[in-house]
Structure 1
Amino acid sequence: MALRPMQSATYTLFRNAILREQQVVCRYDGRLRELCPHIIGANKSGEEVVLAWQFAGESSGPLPQWRCLKLANVSNAHMRKGRWHEGRSHRTTQTCVNEIDLDINVHVRKRR
C-alpha cells in the first residue's frame, strides 16, 4: 500500500488497536466516540481513514453503527481493553477505505 511515508500518531494508534483487538476512545466532530476499528488505510483523496464500529459514546444518530473517520479529525484518542465489538453483518461493500493497509478479518484473524 502506498500511504504517506510518515503515518500520523493517530494512524499508528488505530492500527495498533486493530492488531491488539482493543477499543479506541476519542473525540470526532466534537463528540466522544467509543469504537472498535476494523479497517484502516487511505481514501480516494489519500487521507488516512478508518472504518470502525461505534458501539457507545455520543452520536447524531442511533448507536451502534459503522463509522468512517478521517483520522486528521480525530483528537484525544487512546486505546483501552474491553469486549471487542464486531458490528452487524456487512450487507454492502465498504467504501470508506480505498487503499486498505490492515483489515482485522483478513490480516489479523485470517478470515473473510
Structure 2
Amino acid sequence: MASRPVQSATYTLFRNAILGEQQVVCRYDGRLRELCPHIIGTNRRGEEVVLAWQFGGESSGPLPQWRCLKLANVCDARTREGRWHEGGSHRTTQTCVSGIDLDINVHVRKRR
C-alpha cells in the first residue's frame, strides 16, 4: 500500500473547504481572492494545485471565472461560511489538476 505524500497546511485547508463546501479567502499573485474550490490534487509537475471558482475579490480580468492556483503561491488562506458558488459551464476538460485527489462533484456530492 503506497502512502500519500505529506500535504502542506494550505492543501489541507483547501481540501477541508471542498469537503465542507466552504468558501476560501486568500491572497494569490498579490490579489485578494474569494473562491469556492472544486478540484484539488497535483499538476503534471507534482505541484499542489486547486481548480476554484473565483466569484469575488480582485482580478486582472472579469469575474467570476475559473482559476487554477498553485498552492505554494497562496498566502493568508482562511475558510468562511457563505453561499457555495458552482461556477460556469464546463465546455472543456480541465487541465489544471492531473492527479486528482478530491473533486466535489465526484467524491463529495455523489455520496449524498
Map 1:1-112 onto structure 2 (within 5 A): 5-110=5-110
Number of equivalent positions: 110
Q: Which runs of 5+ in 1 are unaligned?
A: none
| In structure 2, C-alpha distance between the alignment counterparts of 1:88 and 1:73, rounded to whole Å | 24
- CA offsets per residue over residues 46-80 of structure 1, 9 Å max, x none? 00000000000000000000000000000000000
Change (3 A) 1:28 1:99: same
| In structure 2, C-alpha distance between the alignment counterparts of 1:3 and 1:90, rounded to whole Å | 32
Opposite residue 101 of structure 2, the aligned amino acid is D
Change (3 A) 1:60 1:91: same
| In structure 1, C-alpha distance between the alignment counterparts of 2:95 and 2:60, rounded to whole Å | 21
Q: Which runs of 5+ in 2 are unaligned?
A: none
| In structure 2, C-alpha distance between the alignment counterparts of 1:65 and 1:43, rounded to whole Å | 20
| In structure 2, C-alpha distance between the alignment counterparts of 1:87 and 1:63, rounded to whole Å | 11
* Shift of residue 110, structure 1, vs aligned partner: 1.1
* Shift of residue 4, structure 1, vs aligned partner: 6.1
| Two-structure CA RMSD over aligned residues (Å) | 1.5
Identity %: 86
| In structure 2, C-alpha distance between the alignment counterparts of 1:25 and 1:14, rounded to whole Å | 10
Opposite residue 80 of structure 2, the aligned amino acid is R
| In structure 2, C-alpha distance between the alignment counterparts of 1:73 and 1:82, rounded to whole Å | 24
Opposite residue 99 of structure 1, the aligned amino acid is G
Give the secondary-structure state (helix, strand or coil) at the position aligned to 1:45.
coil
Change (3 A) 1:25 1:61: same
TM-score between the two structures when normalised by the length of structure 2: 0.95
